């Protein structure tokens, strides 16, 4: 407020020119102060970097970022780089009549680049750096028309669009132009090379196209840096480009350029960098390449160059990095490179090269050697003379060639080797135990060779190994238990060998494992149960082995594809459809009744009273067990809560403190981070604490939900997860929540973001205004109750939301009427889906305790350890919800000394032919009875005891659509 006021006064003063010019020198000084104060008033300075700028000062010369001329004391330079300033550039700067250098790079200034103030400033300056801001729009033609004495202009890394104006050619004083990393398009002005003072021009990373102007390029005597990379330029390079004799760096990579390398390039004896990567250049490498004596970096990769290498390569004695990959070069590697003593990286991969590995490959102190995808032959040897590379080489890629012989033991001497790939060759012999000496190795790939013998136990010495691939060899013996020492292993591929023995139990300690393929071996024994603890697993393929015993259940193994375990004749478990001898007896609830299975799921016929009775009795028993279990678990959870309450309270306090939510800091390690998928993260704070008790919207098994508003006025619902001690690690949580955040459907509540600390986790959800279905069904009076049409739409919307979840392979796990919200247009939105995946493992006890509040909706298979939980458990919950919608009754209602289980009650009434009796009384007579009965039947089928008898959600949607339009010919729903 204060600063705004001052700014307003200052502006007033500024605009009254007469007052100012009436005074003399003093006022002239104040001119700079005023100008800068106005400038400051228009920008945001979140870190108070400009706090030394005070309007009461006589002179701004001591201010941060300000440079004055020592004689006149007038401001000549302003350097405010990287201060996180934002806002617009205001008129104030025009006041600084002697400003010649303005550097505002790496801030958040925005606005049209064609803003007249900016144009004026650029005209009057010599050096302008506005790079890495948010300026947008196209560069105005007038900008360069009277460009005065500008020497350097950088507008790099903004959001500029449109063409580079022709007028730029008239700015003859220009020396350095950097317009890189914008979205500029179109061709270059034909006369651009009239800019004979140019020393560097960088137009990289734009969408510029057309040919590179040739006219007068030879007059750029002073040009040193020429960067046109990552554009859409086509045609050939200007023939005379090499006449710019001072060129040090030439980069035309990633364009569509054609032709050969112009002859004139040979004159660039001062050039350090030549990058032509990723074009369509063709032809042979000329002998004159050796005259580029200063070259340190040469990249000709991804072109159509062909022919063999000229011997003159060896004259490039300063060469450090050479990349010739992905061309059609033939012949041998040049022996002469042995003279390039400073060479560190060579990449010849994916050409048609032949011959053997030259001695220099290991005798120079190289860091990287890549020869993959050629036709090299011979053995791989690291002799005495290679000692030089033993402590330097980090990358060795010899894959996909025809190398033969054994892998030398001395490979273990490469103490810096990070990446070793010798796959797809004809290597024989054994896997050298010395691999254990590769202390720095991340990747070892020896797959698809003819290696035999066993995997050496010494492999455990390679403690940083991330990826080990030995598949497609003839390895025998067992997997060494020492593999456990490779504690950061993510990928372990040993498929297609002849490996025997059992899978070492200690493999379960490799918690980072993501991808494991042991298929096509002769592994025996059983799978360790603890494998389910590997929470990062994405694939675990043990198919085509001789494994036996029970498949682990839980975690990744709940959803393991059949193809990953198939062809292990003695493996049992529900996934391979083979019951385990002596496994837990099947609970009685799931004994499929013959009359049920006869009819199948497509028949909506309902069964006899006798069966119903038994099932309902069982459900009642099940319910009682759930309640008891729930009570115990809740007690335990409460104990946990008490312990953690003090910790989370500290954090919660800082939330209500009034800080910006996204900047909340707390001295403890509880400091967390807010992630919004939808962009806007500014919460209204101060007046409203984020988790304000008065704004509580509801409570569920997973936590309490609060309402709050974003700064732009939009409401969101914040769910404070309440699962002490059960939450996953930060990484797992991030991953799972992001997965849920990507699910978007008009019948699903959008997950907008989250906040995580070890003791506090918040989920930020779309706010749905009209409350839950539960509230509408059970808490309203009969006046404002949902009409039949509205109820039907809610059922259909819920079905669509669930079907989408299932398409995205997400199981809701917690279907109930409190989790179906209704928005202001009456549309149903399913919320709280997949929250179970945020818990460390899909442990059934945890599951049933978390959703015990959803009593009555819980599918019977949750009580049964041996049955896999599938999306059919949601169909069950949906079925119960349908009955609830039609009857207006809760799934389980407690009478004085009786428990009424809704679906049993409905079955009974329906069987008795009195269906209309169970329809919600609040609907009065205002419902089509045929439609109601069909919906009830659908609900009952969805709530079948046996999961396979329930339809899937896509079928449910089709049936509902048929029910709604009976005229369009449907199967009789009898």
Ligand X SMILES: *[C@@H]1O[C@H](CO)[C@@H](O)[C@H](O)[C@H]1NC(C)=O
Q: Choose between 318 and 509: whose C-beta lies nearer to ligand X.
A: 318
- Cα(99)–Cα(76) distance, rounded to whole angstroms? 4
Burial status of residue 663 (CB atoms within 10 A of its CB: 0-12, 13-18, 19 or more): exposed
- Cα(533)–Cα(513) distance, rounded to whole angstroms? 11
Q: Shortest approach of ligand X to residue 339 CB, angstroms?
A: 9
Q: Are 883 and 906 in contact (CB under 8 A)?
A: yes
- Cα(491)–Cα(422) distance, rounded to whole angstroms? 17
Tell me how crowded residue 691 is: count the other CB atoms within 10 A of its CB.
18
Q: Shortest approach of ligand X to residue 498 CB, angstroms?
A: 4
Q: Shortest approach of ligand X to residue 84 CB, angstroms?
A: 3
Q: Choose between 364 and 941: whose C-beta lies nearer to ligand X.
A: 364
Cα–Cα distances (Å) from 87 to 45, 46, 104, 925, in that order, read 9, 11, 12, 63
Q: Choose between 108 and 644: whose C-beta lies nearer to ligand X.
A: 108
How many residues comprise the chain?
974
Q: Choose between 317 and 732: whose C-beta lies nearer to ligand X.
A: 317
Q: Shortest approach of ligand X to residue 86 CB, angstroms?
A: 6
Q: Choose between 568 and 848: whose C-beta lies nearer to ligand X.
A: 568
Q: Shortest approach of ligand X to residue 110 CB, angstroms?
A: 9
Q: Choose between 499 and 575: whose C-beta lies nearer to ligand X.
A: 499
Question: At a CB cut-off of 8 Å and minimum separation 6, what does 591 contact?
Answer: none
Which residue is it, tokens 């894959």? 399
Q: Shortest approach of ligand X to residue 714 CB, angstroms?
A: 17
Which residue is it, tokens 């007059």? 219
Site of interaction with ligand X (CB under 6 A): 84, 106-108, 317-318, 342, 474, 498
Q: Shortest approach of ligand X to residue 461 CB, angstroms?
A: 27
Q: Are 104 and 83 in contact (CB under 8 A)?
A: no
929-942 and 902-911 helices, crossing angle to 10°:
130
Q: Shortest approach of ligand X to residue 435 CB, angstroms?
A: 21
Tell me how crowded residue 98 is: count the other CB atoms within 10 A of its CB.
16
Tell me how crowded residue 163 is: count the other CB atoms within 10 A of its CB.
15
Q: Shortest approach of ligand X to residue 262 CB, angstroms?
A: 25
- CA-atom Rg of the chain in angstroms: 37
- Cα(921)–Cα(919) distance, rounded to whole angstroms? 6
Q: Choose between 108 and 539: whose C-beta lies nearer to ligand X.
A: 108
Q: Shortest approach of ligand X to residue 317 CB, angstroms?
A: 4
- Cα(542)–Cα(551) distance, rounded to whole angstroms? 11
Please write down the HEC assignment for all residues of 802-820: HHHHHHCCCCCCCCCHHHE
- Cα(612)–Cα(600) distance, rounded to whole angstroms? 17
Q: Are 943 and 874 in contact (CB under 8 A)?
A: no
- Among residues 243, 234, 278, 290, which one has the least CA distance to residue 262? 243
Q: Choose between 132 and 874: whose C-beta lies nearer to ligand X.
A: 132
788-807 and 872-887 helices, crossing angle to 10°:
170
- Among residues 206, 203, 196, which one has the least CA distance to residue 246? 196
Q: Shortest approach of ligand X to residue 178 CB, angstroms?
A: 18
- Cα(354)–Cα(136) distance, rounded to whole angstroms? 52
Q: Choose between 452 and 487: whose C-beta lies nearer to ligand X.
A: 452
Q: Shortest approach of ligand X to residue 559 CB, angstroms?
A: 31
Q: Is the dihedral of CA 550, 556, 559, 564 positive or negative?
A: negative
Question: At a CB cut-off of 8 Å and minimum separation 6, what does 273 contact?
Answer: 248, 249, 250, 251, 295, 296, 297
Q: Which two tokens stand for residue 249?
A: 């760096």
* Strands, E assignment, 690-732: 696-700, 703-709, 715-721
Q: Choose between 471 and 955: whose C-beta lies nearer to ligand X.
A: 471
- Cα(293)–Cα(315) distance, rounded to whole angstroms? 7
Q: Shortest approach of ligand X to residue 658 CB, angstroms?
A: 21
Q: Choose between 341 and 636: whose C-beta lies nearer to ligand X.
A: 341
- 720: annotated binding-site residue? yes
Q: Choose between 51 and 342: whose C-beta lies nearer to ligand X.
A: 342
Burial status of residue 488 (CB atoms within 10 A of its CB: 0-12, 13-18, 19 or more): middle
Phi then psi for 696, rounded to 5 degrees?
A: -70, 130
Q: Choose between 256 and 474: whose C-beta lies nearer to ligand X.
A: 474
The partner residues of 894 in beta bridges, in order of sequence, read 899
Q: Choose between 108 and 533: whose C-beta lies nearer to ligand X.
A: 108
Q: Shortest approach of ligand X to residue 341 CB, angstroms?
A: 7
| Residues of the binding site for ATP | 720
| Residues of the binding site | 720
């Amino acid at each position: 407020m204060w600063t705004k006021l001052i700014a307003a006064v200052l502006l007033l003063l500024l605009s009254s020119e007469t007052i100012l010019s009436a005074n003399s020198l003093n006022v002239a000084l104040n001119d700079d102060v005023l100008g800068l104060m106005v400038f400051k008033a228009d920008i945001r300075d979140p870190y108070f970097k400009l706090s030394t700028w005070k309007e009461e000062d006589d002179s701004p010369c001591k201010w941060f970022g300000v440079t004055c001329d020592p004689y006149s004391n007038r401001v000549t330079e302003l350097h405010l780089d990287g201060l996180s300033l934002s806002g617009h550039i205001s008129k104030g700067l025009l006041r600084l009549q002697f400003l010649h250098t303005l550097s505002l790079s790496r801030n958040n200034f925005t606005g049209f680049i064609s803003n007249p103030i900016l144009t004026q400033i650029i005209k009057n300056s010599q050096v302008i750096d506005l790079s890495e801001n948010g300026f947008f729009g196209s560069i105005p033609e007038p900008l360069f028309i009277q460009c005065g004495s500008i020497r350097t202009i950088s507008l790099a890394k903004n959001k500029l669009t449109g063409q580079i104006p022709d007028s730029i050619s008239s700015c003859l004083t220009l020396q350095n132009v950097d317009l890189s990393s914008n979205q500029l398009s179109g061709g270059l002005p034909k006369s651009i090379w009239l800019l004979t003072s140019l020393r560097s021009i960088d137009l990289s990373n734009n969408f510029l196209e057309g040919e590179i102007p040739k006219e007068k390029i030879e007059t750029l005597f002073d040009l040193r840096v020429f960067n046109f990379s990552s554009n859409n330029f086509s045609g050939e390079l200007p023939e005379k480009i090499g006449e710019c004799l001072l060129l040090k760096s030439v980069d035309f990579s990633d364009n569509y350029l054609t032709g050969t390398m112009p002859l004139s390039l040979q004159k660039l004896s001062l050039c350090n960098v030549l990058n032509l990567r990723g074009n369509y250049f063709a032809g042979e490498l000329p002998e004159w390449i050796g005259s580029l004596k200063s070259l340190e970096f040469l990249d000709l990769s991804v072109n159509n160059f062909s022919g063999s290498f000229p011997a003159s390569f060896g004259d490039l004695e300063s060469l450090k990095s050479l990349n010739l990959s992905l061309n059609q070069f033939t012949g041998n590697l040049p022996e002469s490179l042995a003279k390039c003593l400073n060479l560190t990286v060579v990449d010849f991969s994916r050409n048609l090269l032949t011959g053997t590995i030259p001695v220099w490959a290991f005798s120079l102190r190289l860091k990287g050697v890549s020869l993959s995808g050629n036709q090299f032959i011979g053995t791989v040897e690291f002799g005495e003379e290679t000692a030089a590379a033993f402590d330097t080489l980090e990358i060795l890629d010899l894959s996909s060639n025809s190398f033969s012989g054994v892998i030398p033991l001395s490979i273990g001497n490469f103490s810096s080797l990070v990446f070793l790939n010798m796959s797809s060759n004809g290597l024989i012999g054994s896997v050298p135990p010395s691999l254990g000496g590769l202390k720095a190795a991340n990747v070892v790939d020896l797959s698809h060779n003819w290696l035999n013998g066993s995997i050496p136990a010494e492999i455990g010495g390679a403690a940083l190994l991330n990826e080990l691939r030995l598949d497609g060899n003839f390895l025998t013996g067992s997997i060494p238990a020492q593999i456990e020492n490779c504690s950061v292993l993510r990928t372990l591929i040993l498929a297609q060998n002849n490996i025997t023995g059992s899978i070492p139990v200690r493999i379960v300690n490799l918690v980072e494992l993501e991808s494991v393929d042991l298929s096509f071996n002769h592994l025996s024994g059983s799978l360790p149960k603890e494998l389910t603890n590997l929470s990062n697993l994405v694939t675990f393929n043990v198919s085509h082995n001789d494994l036996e015993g029970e498949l682990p259940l839980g975690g990744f193994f709940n959803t393991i594809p059949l193809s990953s375990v198939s062809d292990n004749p003695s493996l049992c478990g529900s996934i391979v459809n083979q019951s385990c001898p002596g496994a837990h007896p099947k609970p009685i609830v799931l004994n499929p009744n013959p009359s049920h299975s006869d009819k199948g799921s497509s028949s909506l016929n309902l069964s006899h009273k006798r069966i119903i009775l038994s099932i309902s009795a069982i459900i009642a028993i099940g319910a009682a067990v759930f309640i008891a279990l729930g009570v115990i678990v809740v007690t335990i959870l409460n104990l946990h809560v008490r312990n953690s309450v003090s910790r989370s309270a500290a954090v919660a306090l800082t939330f209500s403190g009034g800080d910006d939510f996204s900047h909340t800091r707390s001295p403890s390690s509880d400091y967390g981070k807010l992630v919004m998928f939808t962009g806007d993260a500014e919460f209204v704070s101060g007046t409203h604490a984020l988790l304000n008790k008065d704004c509580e919207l509801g409570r569920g098994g997973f936590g309490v939900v609060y309402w709050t508003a974003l700064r732009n006025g939009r409401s969101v619902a914040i769910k404070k997860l309440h699962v002490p001690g059960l939450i996953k690690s930060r990484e797992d949580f991030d991953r799972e929540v992001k997965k849920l955040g990507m699910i978007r459907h008009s019948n699903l509540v959008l997950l907008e973001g989250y906040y995580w600390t070890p003791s506090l986790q918040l989920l930020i959800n779309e706010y749905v205004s009209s409350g839950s279905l539960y509230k509408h069904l059970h808490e309203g009076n009969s006046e404002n109750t949902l009409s039949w049409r509205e109820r039907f739409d809610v059922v259909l919307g819920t079905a669509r939301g669930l079907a989408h979840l299932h398409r995205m392979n997400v199981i809701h796990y917690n279907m109930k009427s409190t989790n179906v919200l209704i928005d202001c247009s009456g549309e149903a939105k399913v919320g709280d889906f997949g929250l179970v995946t945020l818990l460390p493992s899909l442990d059934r006890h945890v599951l049933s305790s978390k959703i015990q509040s959803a009593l009555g909706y819980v599918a019977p298979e949750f009580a049964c350890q041996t049955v896999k939980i599938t999306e059919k458990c949601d169909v069950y919950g949906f079925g119960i919800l349908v009955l609830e919608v039609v009857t207006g009754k809760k799934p389980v209602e407690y009478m004085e000394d009786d428990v009424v289980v809704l679906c049993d009650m409905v079955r009974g009434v329906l069987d008795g032919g009195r269906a209309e009796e169970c329809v919600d009384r609040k609907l009065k007579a205002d419902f089509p009875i045929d439609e109601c009965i069909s919906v009830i039947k659908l609900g009952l089928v969805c709530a079948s005891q046996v999961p396979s008898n329930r339809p899937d959600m896509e079928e449910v949607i089709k049936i509902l659509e048929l029910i709604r339009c009976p005229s369009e010919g449907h199967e009789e729903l009898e």
